[in-house]
Amino acid sequence: QLPIGLYKKVLVILHDSILPYMNEPTLMIDFLTVAYGIGGAISLLALNGLFILIHQHNLEYPDFYKKLYGLLDPSIYHVRYRARFFHLADLFLSSSHLPAYLVAAFIKRLSRLALTAPPEALLMVIPFICNLFRRHPACRVLVHRTSGPEDMLEDPFIMEEESPSKSRALESCLWEIRSLQNHYHPDVAKAAAVLNQLLSEMEDDISGLLELSAYELFDKEVKKKTADVPLEFKQIRGLFGTKNGILAEHFSLD
């Protein structure tokens, strides 16, 4: 049982300052799997080390994607390590051998959580979801399903289900993205509207969006050049617009 602060300090540097210098990096398997099961920020930070062990040292982790799916909660769009998580999630979901139900569950859960996400997170996760559709065409049924949300009595997707295979995501549709097409931020609405069209084969580069902040969005809006808006100004000649009315006998604008 280690203090949470110590867990974070170790896991932040483990993947690049510790594992490369160990003769047997597989000795860290137990430590990382336990950390991955703790939840919250600890699990997010453990992803880096697990990624190295899985891809470079043939670690087999049967419940890996189930636990990765379990990390998707409302805080995922607000945590300090959001960029690190989505960078690794992008790598883990890049394989074309993943079953369609698994990818569909990730798409659906990310879309549902996006309904309460800030604009800077939405501008990152919408291209992320589009890339998943490009890699896994079988999941496009979520967008092109003929029966939309207005035809469904209820969404068959089970948000509370911990197992992606039982979430019934492939039976649903992406009404959440359709809702985001009416978002108050014009850039978010424009990004969400991309799914109404045929997606290009080339994936979107999300590396520059992972670190996007609210300050950068605000700064971008402030620096936008807008055309001069013509205004019509009519000089007031009296109280309530009348110069010689009865009110002018008792009240003056001077």
Q: What is the pLDDT of residue 167?
A: 92
Residues with Cβ within 8 Å of 33's Cβ and at least 6 positions away in sequence, in order, are 50, 61
Q: What is the pLDDT of residue 91?
A: 85
Q: What is the pLDDT of residue 124?
A: 92
Q: What is the pLDDT of residue 225?
A: 79
The domain segmentation of the chain, as residue ranges, is: 98-146+153-221
- The DSSP code for 182 is T
Q: What is the pLDDT of residue 121?
A: 92
Q: What is the pLDDT of residue 92?
A: 87
* Position 172, amino acid: S
The mean pLDDT value for 120-127 works out to 92
Q: What is the pLDDT of residue 237?
A: 61
* Secondary structure of 94-146 in HEC code, one letter for each residue: CCCCCCHHHHHHHHHHHHHHHCCCCHHHHHHHHHHHHHHHHHCHHHHHHHHCC
Grade residue 46 by pLDDT with cuts at 50, 70 and 90: confident
Q: What is the pLDDT of residue 236?
A: 64
Grade residue 192 by pLDDT with cuts at 50, 70 and 90: very high
Helix ranges, 136-225 (H): 141-144, 175-180, 186-192, 214-222
Choose among 85, 97, 121, 125: nearest CA to 109: 125
Grade residue 61 by pLDDT with cuts at 50, 70 and 90: confident
Q: pTM of the entire structure?
A: 0.76
Choose among 48, 43, 202, 191: nearest CA to 114: 191
- The DSSP code for 23 is S
Lowest mean pLDDT among 27-36, 58-67, 149-158: 149-158
pLDDT in tens, 222-253: 887 777 767 776 666 666 656 666 666 666 66
